[in-house]
Amino acid sequence: TEAASEKKRWTLNDFDIGKPLGRGKFGHVYIAREKRSNHIVALKVLFKSQLKQSQVEHQLRREVEIQSHLRHPNILRLYGYFYDQKRVYLILEYAAKGELYKELQRCKHFSERRAATYVASLARALIYCHGKHVIHRDIKPENLLIGAQGELKIADFGWSVHTFNRRQTMCGTLDYLPPEMVESAEHDASVDIWSLGILCYEFLYGVPPFEAKEHSDTYKRILLVDLKFPPKPIVSAAAKDLISQMLVRETSKRMPLHKLLEHPWIIQNADPSGVYRV
Ligand SMILES: COCCOc1ccc2cc1OCC(=O)N(C)CCCNCc1c[nH]c3ncnc(c13)N2
């Protein structure tokens, strides 16, 4: 039963390890099969030495704590974890269609139907997280996976926090940082609305809106909300309207996630099942 599996002490011997699925900052991810149930999972292997030298043990503990309690079709399940002398192992739901950013690179940009379907499922996942006082703070293509039926899965909760302890730490790409995080000011769940707006733009145009050669220029463009819509690819006025209501400097004026799900562009384009069938 679920309770039993949560209590269970997993070891490497419980799994047949398959091909590597890719390499992250702190370790590799492999496809694996749990021997007793034949259940296919993803096994992320992290080296304790690297976690120690990067001082991210506490962050990983928080991530495991947060993700193991989240249950949502668009959030990658964390079934459990175990460790040995040198490594920490995360037992994760397997996303059969892999990394979204590779798919975005392959297609250059997504159709409005595909973009709206993904944005709507991410909005539902974020509404669920915010309902549990969890903000993700790192919504970007690299952290998104695609399940066997084409459904989107948020993975890599490395930067999520419970809203009562708001540590401001710069992380990864700057493109997704909202103004208040660029200014390291206090921030709340509305950071995820900003990032979702950035993501929606990148789904439709293939590049994030404030991209610039130099970091300093990206900062300036974010703080100015220097939002421009290129003539190509052709994007509907409804999509631009939604993005313009999410990328708003004043955090309280950003479109709330539940309003997003009622926006005409989402109603007209998102597949109600949250699944985009290619
Ligand atoms: C501290 O870590 C927290 C958890 O982070 C992850 C969980 C699961 C992941 C990837 C995660 O972090 C990013 C990362 O390691 N890479 C970018 C390299 C591997 C890419 N995944 C490829 C992949 C394909 N089908 C999958 N089904 C499930 N999980 C996967 C993948 N990867």
Can you say whether the dihedral through the CA atoms of 166, 132, 100, 83 is positive or negative? positive
Give the model's confidence band at 169: pLDDT under 50 very low, under 70 low, under 90 confident, else very high: very low
DSSP secondary structure, 147-199, as one string: -TTSBEEE---TT-EETTS------S-STT--HHHHTT----THHHHHHHHHH
Ligand 1 pocket, Cβ-based, cut-off 6 angstroms: 21-24, 29, 42, 44, 60, 63, 76, 90, 92, 94-95, 98-99, 145, 155-156, 158
Nearest alpha carbon, ligand 1 atom 32: 29
Note the pLDDT of residue 168: 43
**pTM of the model as a whole:** 0.88
SS3 (DSSP) at 77: coil
pLDDT tens per residue, range 170-183: 455 778 888 877 76
| pLDDT tops 70 at residue 205 | yes
| pLDDT tops 70 at residue 1 | no
DSSP H/E element including 244 = helix 237-246
Q: Give the contacts of 139 (CB within 8 A, at least 6 positions apart).
A: 122, 126, 154, 176, 192, 195, 196, 198, 199
DSSP secondary structure, 104-159, as one string: HHHHSS--HHHHHHHHHHHHHHHHHHHHTTEE----SGGGEEE-TTSBEEE---TT
Q: Are 175 and 139 in contact (CB under 8 A)?
A: no
| pLDDT tops 80 at residue 120 | yes
Query: Which atom of ligand 1 lies nearest, measured to the CA of 27?
Result: 15
Please, what is the average pLDDT of the chain? 89
Note the pLDDT of residue 166: 41
Per annotation, catalytic residue among 14, 16, 84, 138: 138
> CA-CA distances (angstroms) from residue 265 to 125, 183, 203, 235, 253?
19, 31, 14, 11, 19
pLDDT tens per residue, range 226-276: 999 999 999 999 999 999 999 999 999 999 999 999 999 999 999 988 788
Nearest alpha carbon, ligand 1 atom 28: 94
- Candidates 204, 75, 224; CA nearest to 152 is 75
Query: Is 138 assigned a catalytic role?
Result: yes
